[in-house]
Amino acid sequence: MIEQFVLDPNKLIFAIPYVRNLDRERINALSDEDFAALYLELMTEYRDKNGWWSKGKPVRCSECHQAITGPEGLRRYYGRTLDPECFKKAYEAEREDFADSPVMRRYWDRVAKLIIPAPAPR
């Protein structure tokens, strides 16, 4: 699902090398259910590509240092690894910084409201 929202770096005025630039305007147009599924897919990439949660090693919140048990409890925010509650606090403190960027503000507002249930035990 993620790949359909990746912007072509050759068509961008400014692109950070080695970073996928996502079309957040199109992402914001998703239903709440699809938005949650896409965000979970993005957070699952940390597990799959970076080996997070492998070998029983917990991922910890950058702020409160509590264990984040899986991708559904992970919020990434400008390089920080946060649990949902710490994300809400961090974002709320910086929310006004997005006053000139309604697309990003809407995106982060939606992330703040996300409730992604943990998977059922196997």
Contact yes or no for 70/47 (Cβ under 8 A): yes
pTM for this structure? 0.85
Phi, psi of 110 (to 5 degrees): -70, -40
Of all residues in the chain, the percent with pLDDT exceeding 90 is 56
Q: Is residue 122 part of a domain?
A: no
Q: Is residue 119 part of a domain?
A: no
Contact yes or no for 103/21 (Cβ under 8 A): no
Q: Is residue 59 part of a domain?
A: yes
Domain count, the chain: 1
pLDDT single digits (tens) 3-29: 888 877 666 555 555 556 888 999 999
Q: With H, G, I as helix, E, B as strand and everything else as coil, classify residue 35.
A: helix
Q: Determine the structural domain holding residue 51 and report its residue range.
A: 2-113
pLDDT-derived band at 46 (thresholds 50, 70, 90) equals: confident
Q: Is residue 120 part of a domain?
A: no
Q: Is residue 118 part of a domain?
A: no
The two structure tokens encoding residue 8: 């072509």
